[in-house]
Each structure stands twice: as structure tokens, then as C-alpha cells.
Chains A and B, each alone.
Chain A
């Protein structure tokens, strides 16, 4: 097979370019003819280089400098970083808006504030758009939206992920309802695309108003620290309506969304770091729901056993440890890409690889809130589990959960319906499900966390597992009210706070030596590779949203 290489006009050329004056003037024949005959039209092929060059400079040098001053890269520079060298193929570079009101007919910039096309990340195809803040502030016009829709349609057609780099001031107000229509068309595409190909959003500047709902529908949202923000209504409106004084950064910066709201999944230091992390993350994702998970070469053997796993769980049931230490020792090359590391830290979700194949991990984190499930943890876990199901990514669940978090705050904000999301998600998925009870698995939380009863394929326990309705202390206070609680507690612990009762019922398939866990997971994933399970036909279920 022959490898081909186009001669792409790299945006690295941009800074060497002269900035062209409008075409109509610059392409008059410069030779003055002596005879008074009409000038001959210049053949288009001679005009093309200049036209092409014009598409590369966006809003012009001044605006590009301004973008750089803000610590941001331009839309094209971002694609240079994100994609394999020379792999970007642009479409619609010459698209211009059709608005005529408010003097817009006099302002045309080819591309209309967005760069779209396809490109490669480590050789794999992705469809991309990159909003150009230097052109009309990256505002969304009818044509701008059309370009977005075009690549999304293509992505679904051929089965490759969509990556959106957002840097837009919002709607092109001059266009009125045309702009709004554009947004709605994009939302519709986002929804139709959801579950067909992965969609990633990278917020690299402002993303305000209705615009936020497109990233919100996509699967994963990246933000850049200090230079990006997302909100439905900005600080001015907040001040006028709620009399709250708040900065853009406080209201909708990366901290707000990765720690408080959970709208964004990741945040990194700057544009380059963020885009490099997108590349790394992309490698975990299948291209579409028609393909299986990607496989990568590794020298890490399935037989690797880390002795420390045998003693990593403290015997004192109240002593915390970092569940991620366990995950790091299970996955290939200790490479675990945690999703939403700063939100609902009592549950850990993310991707690793087992023998080169992408595998999802969901784990309670005893280091935070003792690993309790609460509203945020349930939402975080449920959405992640459903993503994995949509794209055939097997799920390994590590359990150390004392139960659901109590309190009025939780109850009044709906821990019931939110907790139900996680049950719904785990019960609905049909991908291979392997669960390992590391320590506590109590009460309703036992049922939720990939239990046998929710069609868990393999359910193991480490010898440190404790599977019961509740911890010994609480249980004996109910069962043995007014009796010798100390002895009762010891009896209860002896009888129930171990994996044996669950093993006797077959709810736990086996008790395994912790250091053999990696081997077991690899074996099981291979065994379960051709698992076939279908849910009863329905239009769709009704998850308690």
C-alpha cells in the first residue's frame, strides 16, 4: 500500500504570510496594457494559493496576537498540537456567512469562525471542529453551525469520534433566529450521535449561554485552567438578578466545573497540555459502537503479581487507603486514566488497559467519605457505566462501600432517585462485568455495585471482604437490643463480616488471593470476550433522570 502525502498548507506558514487585502483589489492585472482592451481574467488556479492562504489567517494578525496574549492558541495551532503531523484534511474552508443585516454583508472571513475536517490521532480517525475566536469572536452563525453538523453527520456515517474544540463568544446575534436554529441543529446531532461514536468537547475559551448544552450532551468535557469558562448566564446577569458578585472564573471556570458541578471531566494547565491529554485519552476509546475496544502492544504480562496487594487493605475496617493504588497495580504499565478525578472523589472511575485492551474501572474510594455512595457519586458512576456499555468496554468494579451517605441534604436532594441511576445503569449494561469485593460491601450498596443479582458475570471477593446488611456495630444494636453487645458484636463479625455467607449462596464465585487479581481479570475478559446478552426489545427504558 502506498502512503500518500498531500502538500498541506500548514498553519505554521501563517506567520510568514503577508496579509492580503480584499481579493477584488489584489488580483487586478498589474501590467498596464498599452492597448485599451479589457483586462484578461486571471485563471482561478493562479488565484487559489492566495485564497487558500487567506483561509489560514482567520481574523488576522492583530487578533491572533491578542489570542496569544491571553495565553491561548489559535484554532489552527490547536489542531497542529492535537493531530498527527500533516494528517488534517479540512473541509469548508471557503464557507462564508449569508447574513446581510447590521453591516455584516461587508464583513466576510472565509471559514466563518470555525475550522472543520478530519484528522488522525496516533493513526486513528477523528472528526473535528475548532472554533476560531479571532473570527467574529468565534460566534456561531447559521453556516458555522452547518459546518459542525456536516462533520458530525460524517462521523456517524463512517464511525469515528467527534472532537470539538470550543472557543466561542456565543450566538452571532446579528443573525437572530438563524443562529439559534444553528445551535438546535447541533444539539440534535449531539443527541443522535450519542452512543454511536464517542464525542469529546474541549473548552478552550468562553462557552456561554445556550452554547454550553452541546458540550454538556457530549461524553467527555475537557477544560483549560484559567482560560476557559462555561455558564448559562454570566456574572453580569447573576449580579443583576441574584445580587451575587462572582467572577467568570468562580462562576464557570475549570475549578467550578471539575469540582463542584461535575459538568467537566478534566482540566489541565494550558492549551498544549490539554490537547496532549486529549490525545492520550482518545487512545482508550473505541472509534464507534460498531467496533470493539482498541488494542495496544504491551510487555506487561497477565501473570504479573504484586505482592503488596496481599497486605494493602488495612485490617482495621476504619482505616482508609487509596483505592487507586490497587487499580494502578492491576492495569497494564500502571497506566490508569482517571475520569472526573476531582468530582465525587468517593467513587473512582476511569480507563486502563488489560493485556492491551481498554477496560473500564469503577471503584469505591475509602479515602473519601469512607467510600460511601452519595448523589454525586451515583451520577458520576452511572453516566460512566452507560458510556462503557454503549461502546462495548468491559467493566471491572472494585468494591469497598459501607453504604449510602445519610443526611437531610442527601435525602432532600434525591439520593433515592439519584442512587437509582447507578442501579439502573449497572442492571442495564450487557458488557462483561467483573466485580471484586475488596473490603466492605454493605446493604443496598452491595446490591448496586455490579452484584451477581444485577447480572454480574464474575463476582470475586478478597479474603478481606465483608458482605452483610450492615457493619457489626449497627447490626447488633438492632438484633440484640439491651444485651451484651460486645460479645454479640464479636459473634456477628465472626459469622457475617467475611465473604463466606455470600460464597455459600453463590453470590460470590470465589475468594481469590489479591495478588492474583490481575491474572484472573485477564483470564475472565478473554473468556467473556464473546459474551452475548440482549435486553428485551424496547424503544428505550426510562432511567430515573
Chain B
């Protein structure tokens, strides 16, 4: 037995105890590695998070303040005190919150603890997008043409815009995650963009500095993961393609990129390492590049922290990035060399958000009435990073990320296929979420071919996403599945005690299934291993039915195709069923019910055109100063609701007059609450 092996077990863990200064999935993820390394963990929580998963996972927890993050997770003093109180030797900041705050890194060091991340100067230099570009340029990294410097007034913006030419990109200097970022194609948009960017940046990062650069059309967003230590060693851990973005917010990421050839990859990696050397980088970090259709790449910014999408790199390289961060922070030398790092297989990550894709992706909050993750197969080709359990609450105070679903495959197609199956059996009810949208993206041939750019989403859904459009065979699957659910449910109902024994249950054999505009007349025939359901004349052979009656996941093989449906809830005449991510209101009627159904009156719905209603719960950030009786024009800005750190502008939809204003600034409102009543 090698001595080294024994020693590695005998050595103490690199730290005894670390504090994780974050919440949600990333806090849980960091604690997982810490536990693996034998390190005790301290969690922190705000009042809104007392019952959160990351609190349950930590060995010890400390309260750091009330629910709003600027009174809790963002208060450096509270975090430092929590660490001191519990005797933590180091602090991992996760992403977001204090992860890229120089003051925090410094405060940690000043209090004799170790910051698990880069040194304060590197954060500082890379944290400001203006300074980072100057340094990158000096280090020999390709940068985008633009105005390297900070701008203050709308006039300045317009001047610069005219110099470099539209389109321009307005960005928050201290920002990230797409917040405070806007593209403008003309003067008017530039003026509006700068105002909103400043406001958003101010509320999100407490830093309203912005800058401007040339906007490159049809780009891909490809980033390079780097690892570096205190001894001047740095490696690039290959790329992640993050081109699938919605309003500059990443939605789906993958590693590797289908677009890069080994030579470009090497060039990008080497430039990233050059930048690391230039700032004496000493942790895990990410250099973001945009790559134009001719494979020219330009440095965008460097994120001096662990990225949300780091799992795809972990899958394809086999490295535990958090472990490397911790070891490097403890003063160990980087244990991997550039030559050790390869690419093995393909990984895809979907960010599952609590938002409503069919209502302009407005954030959705509430209780996860039902939350059930897809099963992790034995080969561990599915990974779910989450901070929630069944029944938990998505709070309005934080980012609406429910989880990251990551799948691995030997090839890109295998990884995508596995992702589709995982999404289909991922049960999330109680809040709206973007699984329908994720599912729709993955289903597009264009995605499968890898012809993606950051404009993919607006190009594919120019008028917004309106739910998955089912193909004919998929519609029949839905109809057949719904009928079988109905039959099995009826069978279960007939297990009741106290029946008249002479009367045998005679299952229905004719059904009419209706959803959306579709109507299927179906005949049912029981076979020895399933059913044959003839829907409008087409035979659907259903086998391998796997459903515990009333459970959410219904599996079957229909015409030799595996189908997963989610039974969300039974209705008096049918079910609400999720198919390919999208919810359908499916009516299953016996022949007799179908004959009588047309006599039923249409349900009465509220005429919403007379009101401005809150599309989501949140706080009224501002409301129009118009008075009742005043005229308003279509497109006029009437109200801003702040929810989940985002400001959502509500505009008037038609020319009308104001009849009544029901809310005041600062007031909390619920979804569908009437904010303004219009006159005629």
C-alpha cells in the first residue's frame, strides 16, 4: 500500500470548518463538497430562509438579518460576525451576493479568515467591467470595440453611441446576471435604456455606474473556466456554451461548445490564462467571450467566482471545482496540469426558474405544492442542484431559480435526449415555471443542429412563447393517456366497500376527449398487456402502463414510443395534464357526457380590458401621477412593479381614460389584483 494513500487519509482536512455565505442551491452544493472533504459547514439565513434546505444541510446555522438581502446576506459585518461566532476558518461566498465584493474579501482577510475566492485586487480589477477591459487589452486579450470608461448622463450616452454606431449595449459596471443590461438600436431606446439600467443596477448592486460598447450581432456566448493558485499556476478547464439566453439571462448551457474547434479553444483558453497571470488570479474564475459567426472572439468580462453553470464543466472534465477552490484557498498547489484536462462526453444544463413563460416570463412566487425530481439513474447521468424540497416556498425576496437540471451523455444528442426525459418527469406544481419553454427549446431542430446564437430565443419566438405546439401523434398520446387515467381511476373508485355485489363494474369503451381545439372520438379495447385506443380512426397501441392511480407521473409506451405524462389534477370531467412540459386542460367524457356537454353554458369570464391588473405579486415601485378622468395613451407607462429584484414596467394597452387608481407606491400587491380601472 502506498504511503501516500495512507497519508492522504491521515492528514487533517484543509479546513475544520467553513462558512457558506449564500443561500439556495449554491449553498447546498458547496456544503456537499465540504462534507465530502470532511469539513464542517456553517450556514447563514435570513428570516425568510429559516426553513430552507441549505439551513437543514448545514452543521450549524446563524441568522444574519431580516428577509431582504440588503439587510441580511449583503451585510458584510453580519456574515463576518457569524463566522467569528462559530469559529469558521474560511468563507465561501458562492455566486451573487458578496461573491464579487472587494470589501468582503478584504474584511474576511482582515479578520484572520480565508476567503475562498480570488484576492481582493483581482476582484476589484475584474469586477469593474471598464477596468477589466483595459487590463485584458494590455494582457493581449481580444476585446470588443467600444467606449472603455464610465458614462454619466444621457447626453454622453448619445454622443458615444453616435461615435461607435448603433446598436449599442448599455451595461452596469458592477453587474452580472443580465441585470441592468440593455441593447439600444436608436436614441430613444438608448435614453430609456440608460434610465432603467441605472435604476436596476442601483437596486440590484447598489452601484449605478454604467458603460457602453458596440453590440455584436448574431454572437455566441462562450466562456472559459479557469483555475489558478497562489503560486502562479493557472489552467483553463475548457469552455461552456451559454448562447441560449433570454434578455441576457442564461437559460441553457452546455459543455463543450459545438462551435469551437480545438485551435480556437486553445487560443481562447490561452488568452484566459494570460489574463489570470496579469491579475495574479488565484481561484476558480470564468472569462466570458462573445464569438462572432467567423469564430472571432472578444473578451467580455471575467467573473471572479464560481459560475451558476459550473456543473457542465464538472461533468465533462471530472473535476470538482468547489474542491479545487477550497484547496487552493487553503494554500495548496493546483493539483491539475493543463495536460490532465480533457473533454469527456457532453453535458447540458437547464436553469429551471419560477416564472411564467406564457406571460412574458414574469416571476412567479408561492409554495411548491408538489415538487418531485426526476430519478437519478445509476450511472449518475442526471444531476439536480436545488435549494428546495417538496412543499417549500419560493420567496419574493430572492432569485427565482428553482434548480439546475444537468444531464450527461456520451454525445450531445444523448445528453439532450436525457434532458428531455428528465424534464418530462420533473414535477413542479404550485408556481409557474419555465419547463414548458425549456422543453420547447430542446425540441427545435435548430437547437439539435447546434445553430444557436444569443438571438436564438427572440428569433424562434418573436411574439413571445405561447406554449408547446403538439404534433399530431403527440396529441393522440395525450388523448390516449387521459382515457387510460380515467379508466384506471374508475377502477379504483370501484374498489369501494358497500357495493351491491350483483352489479358488475362495466368499464366505458367509448370516449370523447377534448383539449384546446382538438376533439377525438375514441374507442377503447382492452388487450392482455394494455389497451388499443382508436382516436379519430388512428390506432394507438398502449403498453407498459406504469401509473399509481392519482400519482403525478404516468408512463406508458404508445405506438412503441415512451411517453411520460404528468397528471396534475383530476377535474370533474377529465384532468389537467402536463405533456412535453406544457399544461393542457383535457376533457375526458363518456359518450353520454359528450352528448350533453354542448348544452352547458360558457363560463363567465371577467372582462380584463377594463383594468390594469398586476401580472405578478410584488411591490408597487412607482405609479402614474395621472388623476381619475385623465386621458392615457396606448403604450404609456403606468406602473412599475418590483418583484424578485426586477422592475417590471406595465404599460397602458389602449387609448382610454383613468377611472380609478387602487394602489399606492410601496404597497404590496398580489397577482391579478386590480391596480387601475379604466373608463370607457
- A and B co-occur in one complex: yes
Please report A residues at the B interface, Cβ cutoff 8 Å: 1-4, 12, 68, 71-73, 77, 80-81, 84-87, 120, 122-125, 226-227, 268-274, 276-277, 280, 283, 286-287, 291, 294-297, 299, 306-309, 311-312, 314-316, 322, 325, 328-329, 333-335
- Evaluate contact between B596 and A73: CB separation under 8 angstroms: yes
Query: In the complex, how many angstroms separate the beta carbon of B489 from the nearest chain A beta carbon?
Result: 10
Question: Which residues of chain A are within 8 angstroms of B369 by Cβ–Cβ distance?
Answer: 325, 328
Complex Cα distance, B52 from A312, in Å, reads 10
B557 at the interface (CB under 8 A from A): no
- Evaluate contact between A124 and B499: CB separation under 8 angstroms: yes
- Evaluate contact between B500 and A124: CB separation under 8 angstroms: yes
If the complex has contacts A295-B496, A322-B367, A329-B391, are A226 and B601 also in contact, measured as CB distance less than 8 A? yes
Question: Which residues of chain B are within 8 angstroms of A325 by Cβ–Cβ distance?
Answer: 367, 369, 391
B573 at the interface (CB under 8 A from A): yes
- Evaluate contact between B497 and A272: CB separation under 8 angstroms: no
Query: In the complex, how many angstroms separate the beta carbon of A295 from the nearest chain B beta carbon?
Result: 5
Contact of A276 (CB < 8 Å), options: B390, B497, B572:
B572
Query: In the complex, how many angstroms separate the beta carbon of A485 from the nearest chain B beta carbon?
Result: 23
Q: From B224-232, B502-510, B615-623, B661-669, give the one contacting chain A.
A: B502-510
- Evaluate contact between B496 and A283: CB separation under 8 angstroms: yes
- Max chain A C-beta neighbours (<10 A), residue from B493, B572, B597: B572
Query: In the complex, how many angstroms separate the beta carbon of A354 from the nearest chain B beta carbon?
Result: 15
- Evaluate contact between A294 and B593: CB separation under 8 angstroms: no
Complex Cα distance, B498 from A120, in Å, reads 11
Complex Cα distance, B504 from A122, in Å, reads 10
Which chain B residues numbered 251 to 273 have a C-beta less than 8 Å away from chain A? none
Show 14 residue pairs from A and B whose CB-CB distance is below 8 angstroms, ordered by the A residue: A2-B502, A72-B599, A84-B503, A85-B506, A87-B503, A123-B496, A125-B500, A226-B604, A291-B498, A296-B493, A308-B390, A309-B391, A311-B56, A312-B391
Complex Cα distance, B599 from A71, in Å, reads 5
B492 at the interface (CB under 8 A from A): yes
Question: Which residues of chain B are within 8 angstroms of A2 by Cβ–Cβ distance?
Answer: 502
Q: How many residues of B contact A (CB 8 A)?
A: 45
B7 at the interface (CB under 8 A from A): no
Interface string of B582-605 (1 = CB under 8 A from A): 000000001011011101110110
- Evaluate contact between B47 and A272: CB separation under 8 angstroms: no
Question: Which residues of chain A are within 8 angstroms of B56 by Cβ–Cβ distance?
Answer: 311
- Max chain A C-beta neighbours (<10 A), residue from B551, B590, B601: B601
- Evaluate contact between B495 and A296: CB separation under 8 angstroms: yes
Q: State the majority secondary structure of interface residues on B.
A: loop
- Evaluate contact between B604 and A287: CB separation under 8 angstroms: no
Question: Which residues of chain B are within 8 angstroms of A72 by Cβ–Cβ distance?
Answer: 599
Contact of B572 (CB < 8 Å), options: A226, A227, A268:
A268
Query: In the complex, how many angstroms separate the beta carbon of A332 from the nearest chain B beta carbon?
Result: 9
B51 at the interface (CB under 8 A from A): yes
- Evaluate contact between A124 and B496: CB separation under 8 angstroms: yes
- Evaluate contact between B500 and A308: CB separation under 8 angstroms: no
Please report B residues at the A interface, Cβ cutoff 8 Å: 47, 50-51, 56, 367, 369-370, 389-392, 490, 492-506, 508, 548-551, 572-573, 590, 592-593, 595-597, 599-601, 603-604
Q: Which 7 interchain pairs have the tightest Cβ spacing?
A: A308-B391, A71-B601, A123-B499, A311-B51, A297-B495, A276-B572, A273-B572
- Evaluate contact between A270 and B600: CB separation under 8 angstroms: yes
Contact of B500 (CB < 8 Å), options: A12, A123, A280:
A123
Question: Which residues of chain A are within 8 angstroms of B490 by Cβ–Cβ distance?
Answer: 122
Question: Which residues of chain A are within 8 angstroms of B367 by Cβ–Cβ distance?
Answer: 322, 325
Question: Which residues of chain A are within 8 angstroms of B599 by Cβ–Cβ distance?
Answer: 68, 71-73, 271
Question: Which residues of chain A are within 8 angstroms of B595 by Cβ–Cβ distance?
Answer: 12
Complex Cα distance, B493 from A63, in Å, reads 36
- Evaluate contact between A81 and B572: CB separation under 8 angstroms: no
Contact of A12 (CB < 8 Å), options: B389, B497, B592, B597:
B592
Complex Cα distance, B506 from A12, in Å, reads 18
If the complex has contacts A308-B389, A325-B367, A325-B369, are A287 and B498 also in contact, measured as CB distance less than 8 A? yes
Question: Which residues of chain B are within 8 angstroms of A125 by Cβ–Cβ distance?
Answer: 500
Query: In the complex, how many angstroms separate the beta carbon of A272 from the nearest chain B beta carbon?
Result: 6
- Evaluate contact between B592 and A81: CB separation under 8 angstroms: yes
Closest to A68 in B: B599
Closest to A311 in B: B51
- Evaluate contact between A307 and B389: CB separation under 8 angstroms: yes
Query: In the complex, how many angstroms separate the beta carbon of A84 from the nearest chain B beta carbon?
Result: 7
Query: In the complex, how many angstroms separate the beta carbon of B675 from the nearest chain A beta carbon?
Result: 23
- Evaluate contact between B390 and A307: CB separation under 8 angstroms: yes
Closest to B598 in A: A68
Contact of B492 (CB < 8 Å), options: A77, A85, A296, A329:
A296
- Evaluate contact between A85 and B391: CB separation under 8 angstroms: no
Closest to B604 in A: A226
Complex Cα distance, B271 from A522, in Å, reads 65
Question: Which residues of chain B are within 8 angstroms of A226 by Cβ–Cβ distance?
Answer: 601, 604
Complex Cα distance, B573 from A277, in Å, reads 9
- Evaluate contact between A295 and B497: CB separation under 8 angstroms: yes
Closest to B493 in A: A122
Question: Which residues of chain B are within 8 angstroms of A299 by Cβ–Cβ distance?
Answer: 548-549
Query: In the complex, how many angstroms separate the beta carbon of A487 from the nearest chain B beta carbon?
Result: 21
- Evaluate contact between B600 and A272: CB separation under 8 angstroms: yes
Question: Which residues of chain A are within 8 angstroms of B496 by Cβ–Cβ distance?
Answer: 122-124, 283, 294-296
Complex Cα distance, B601 from A72, in Å, reads 8
Complex Cα distance, B490 from A1, in Å, reads 22
Question: Which residues of chain B are within 8 angstroms of A283 by Cβ–Cβ distance?
Answer: 493, 496
Question: Which residues of chain B are within 8 angstroms of A291 by Cβ–Cβ distance?
Answer: 498
Query: In the complex, how many angstroms separate the beta carbon of A164 from the nearest chain B beta carbon?
Result: 20
Closest to B587 in A: A272
Complex Cα distance, B370 from A333, in Å, reads 12
Question: Which residues of chain B are within 8 angstroms of A308 by Cβ–Cβ distance?
Answer: 389-392
Closest to B368 in A: A308
Question: Which residues of chain B are within 8 angstroms of A334 by Cβ–Cβ distance?
Answer: 370, 550
If the complex has contacts A68-B599, A73-B596, A273-B572, are A4 and B502 also in contact, measured as CB distance less than 8 A? yes
